Structure 1
Amino acid sequence: MQSAAAVNKHAPKPSTTVYNILFIIGLCHLLNDAIQSVIPAMFPVLEKSMGLTFTQLGLIAFTLNMVSSVLQPVVGWYTDKKPMPYALPAGLTCSLLGILGLAFAPSFPLILLSVFFIGLGSAVFHPEGSRVAYLAAGERRGLAQSIYQVGGNTGSSAAPLITALILVPLGQFGAIWFTIAAALAVLFLLYIARWYSAKLAFIRKTDKKKGMAKNNGRLSKGVLSALAVIVFLVFARSWYGSALSNFYTFYAIEKYHLSIAESQVYIFVFLVMGALGTFAGGPLADRFGKRNIILCSLIASAPFALLLPFAGPKTAYVLIALVGFILSSSFSVTVVYAQELVPGKIGTMSGLTVGLAFGMGAIGSVALGSLIDAFSLAAVMTGTAALPLLGILAFLLPKDQTLLDWQQ
């Protein structure tokens, strides 16, 4: 009886939103993604200190993105079958080893190996971190996922600061400072893992009275169709986001005759407003519905996206801020929608939507770069501005009430 009391103490009822767990897992997401952002931030340093070619730098980026994104659905699928709370600190330990290796790596192959470990840690963290947010959400799943995802967005946007404040003065060895961030995340995740274990024990005990096995593995035609629409919407959002974050600086330099430093301000505004939009989207979805926010996120950002290539330098700040905020408002909401679309597959759906977003972004960078080489920067920036219009397909998604009916 004592152990049952302990479980109940650590695992609150499903209707309770556990804010301390949400804020800790959000902080860990920030630390994880800040560690990931060290890698692209280090490119200028590695290019100079080790004489790496752009092809080699591309291989480093490819290794990080493919390991961290492609493995996410695989990890999520496995942990849906067999949840592993202590995989969270184990994953960040992999990242810690990777960042340590990155600080000391004397050769390109060892850098690739270090990046592989960082990508592996990230692939384990994301689906399991999203599951923790789901379990701690209670009835406020949109808000919970926003708290979790905004941590990651904030960490990702740290790359310019990491380059300027740490890697430029300290060089490759400067990466050693991020072992502190990784060690801190491991300690926090050990605490999370204890709560997660207790929560799982509580859920298993409760679910003996309610059979959940009927939802496992059976996907109806309607669910598969909705998943296909979600994948397409993630593609549209990720490719347009990739166009802005990777190539808008070059467009601003060419169109407005700015310096590199001045052009970077546009990307900073886009990323910061994107983080705010990610946070705002969850509570809005809890109030107005997930499908509505996914639809509005793309459609409402389309007019500003279409105007952006033709705007003057000052108006562009306003437009790119609005695009960043509105477009990112559906990021966390899409994850929750997919999780509710396929109940019992929390990790798989998180890995699919988040991993797919990063994977699509990586592929988009290569594809859009090729299109720019083949046509022109102006033509590609103008063409990709139409991508948010594909949000009209969100009308094909089942309404939130329909998802609830399917779960009965």
Structure 2
Amino acid sequence: MSTTAASISSKYETQQKTTYRILFIIGLCHLLNDSIQSVIPAMFPILEKSMGLTYSQLGMIAFSLNMVSSIMQPVIGMATDKKPFPFALPIGLTSTLFGVLGLAFAPNYKWIIISVLFIGLGSAVFHPEGSRVAYMAAGQRRGLAQSIYQVGGNTGQALAPIITALILVPLGQMGAAWFTAVAAIAVGLLIYIAFWYTGRLQQELIASRPRKQSGAHKNKRISKKVWGALLLVLFLIFARSWYISGMTNFYAFYAIEKYSFSISQSQLFLFAFLVSGALGTFFGGPLADRFGKKKIIFLSMILTVPLSILIPFVPSTIAFIMLVASGFILMSSFSVTVVYAQELVPGKIGTMAGLTVGLAFGMGAIGSIVLGYIADTHGLVNMIILIGFLPLLGLLTLLLPPDETVSEWNK
């Protein structure tokens, strides 16, 4: 009896340690997955020329990708919360592999849409399950773990301008075929992750038996207080997503118009904004582990406000510096909001990851349409000025319960 108890205790202590090997692998897979996803918008100028697609058709391609990958994320998260399926990760990336292959050889618009749906589905499977793996490997450093995981994805997205310049411009549509190799590497790594995931589930099952027998772990209903806090977190994520979406989709056009930049120069500004955002994502988690999640969420949005408001009115050199600073500060709360939501509703790791990351990107896609309409009707300059005030909504963070209160709710 004592031997069994010691074995359970040993395995439980192992689970409390941060497994950096797994975190770095899942972070790399996130980079590979999101770099593949970034191929689609990067291909728009090429598809416009090779197939004569309209802006509406290009918009529908982007909408199809984002809606499938975002709406399906919480659904898949809910399903795997009830019944974990470790090998969903390599299966999802295999769907992405077929999608990329189809994109490279698609003869017409219809086949591009079908290929994009495969990529979107693969992404929808990967994100909540990848976040769950990061949570399982985190030990006591959940903020750091999510930062390592999320920085991979943000770095992958930031690669879009480089992918366009180095691969897609010289090779055209067929250049997408190179990313089947990227997808294959990700599938191989995720098979390794799936075996680790399976082993960890078995450890958790053994460790949880005494708690189940004592009745310590019963399903709790989500209280009104938790629902209120969760809805507020999602609203803050949406506000951040709309600002990021506005800048990534339209600031390059604004820079061309205001500073008479070439396309390459404007892409450099965008690349700097995205890379600094990826760095901010990495540092935000460890800061939240030390100073608290609510504080980092609040500061990341409020400290962005003066920068985001002033960016449209300053010379190009100062704008570049402000873009780097605002990207770093604002995105420092990206992984933190994911962990905050997961701790609000423990036991629903995949669902919360799907909601905070998946629906955030979905709202970003809708935001692109709304902001595009505002730019068409009220002018691009006015739209860029307007979105600069979105981080002000970060004041609502003051209404969130402190980290200590969230911990007490879960006891």
- TM-score scaled by length of structure 1: 0.96
2:80 corresponding residue in structure 1:
79
Whole-angstrom CA distance in 2 between matches of 1:248 and 1:100? 31
For 1:313, the equivalent position in structure 2 comes to: 316
CA offsets, 1:123-147, max 9 Å, x none?
0000000000000000000000000
Give the Å deviation of 1:285. Answer: 0.3
Q: Given the alignment of the two structures, is residue 387 of structure 1 paired with residue 387 of structure 2, yes or no?
A: no
Correspondence 1:284 to 2:284 = no
Unaligned runs of 5+ in 1: none
Q: How many residues align?
A: 406
Tell me by how many angstroms 1:13 deviates. Answer: 2.0
Q: 1:372 aligns with which of 371, 375, 399?
A: 375
- TM-score, scaled relative to structure 2: 0.95
* Matching residue of 2:326: 323
Query: C-alpha offsets along residues 277-335 of structure 1, whole Å, 9 cap, x if unaligned?
Result: 00000000000001110011101111111111111111101111111000000000000
SS of match in other structure, 2:15: coil
Structure 1 match to 2:273: 270
Distance 1:71 1:290 in 2: 27
1:62–1:393 distance in 2 versus 1, CA, 3 Å: same
2:256 maps to 1:253: yes
State how far apart, in whole Å, the 1-side matches of 2:34 and 2:152 are: 8
Task: Give the secondary-structure state (helix, strand or coil) at the position aligned to 2:329.
Answer: helix
Distance (Å, rounded) in 2 between the aligned partners of 1:388 and 1:275: 18
- Work out which of the residue numbers 194, 202, 222 in structure 2 matches 1:219: 222
Cα RMSD of the aligned pairs, angstroms, is 1.9
Report which stretch shifted further, 204-213 or 254-263: 204-213
Q: Which amino acid aligns with 1:77?
A: M
Task: Give the secondary structure class of the aligned counterpart of 2:229.
Answer: helix
Show the 5 A alignment for 1:3-402: 13-211=14-212, 216=219, 218-402=221-405
1:216 Cα deviation from its structure 2 partner: 3.3
SS at match of 1:218: coil
By how many angstroms is 1:14 displaced? 2.6
Structure 2 contact 18–140 (Cα < 8 Å) conserved = yes
Q: Which amino acid aligns with 1:96?
A: L
**Matched AA of 1:294:** I
Provide runs of 4+ in structure 1 moved above 3 Å: 4-12, 211-217
Question: SS of the counterpart of 2:18?
Answer: coil
Instruction: Assess if the C-alpha contact under 8 Å between 2:211 and 2:217 holds in 1.
Output: no
Q: What is the letter of the counterpart of residue 316 of structure 2?
A: P
Residue 210 of structure 1 aligns to a residue whose secondary structure is helix
CA contact (8 A) 2:8 2:207 kept: no
Deviates more, 1:87-96 or 1:200-209: 200-209
Q: Kindly tell me: are residues 128 and 9 of structure 1, through their superposed partners in 2, closer, same or farther at Cα, counting changes over 3 Å?
A: farther
Residues 34/10 of structure 1: CA separation in 2 closer, same or farther (3 Å cut): farther
Deviation at 1:121, TM superposition (A): 0.2
Give, in whole Å, the separation in 2 of the partners of 1:190 and 1:10: 23
- Maintained 8 Å contact 2:9/2:207: no
Tell me how far apart the structure 2 counterparts of residues 241 and 215 of structure 1 sit (CA, whole Å). 40
1:172–1:345 Cα change, 3 Å: same
Cα distance change, pair 10–128 in 1 and its aligned pair in 2 (3 A): farther
Q: Where do 5+ consecutive residues of structure 2 fail to align?
A: none
Q: Is the 8 A contact 1:7 1:201 kept in 2?
A: no
Counterpart amino acid of residue 230 in structure 1: V
- Say if 2:90 and 2:188, in contact at 8 Å, map to a contact too: yes
Letter in 2 for 1:323: S
Tell me if structure 2 keeps the 8 A contact 1:11–1:199: no
- Per-residue deviation at 1:69? 0.6
The 10-residue stretch of structure 1 (54-63 or 84-93) with the greater mean CA deviation from structure 2? 54-63
Residue deviations 1:169-228 (CA, integer Å, cap 9, x gap): 111111111011101001100000000011011111111122488563611011011011
Instruction: Give the superposition deviation at 1:243.
Output: 1.2
8 Å contact kept, 2:229–2:400: yes
DSSP 3-state at the match of 1:209: helix
The answer on whether the counterparts of 2:294 and 2:402 sit within 8 Å (CA) in structure 1 is: yes
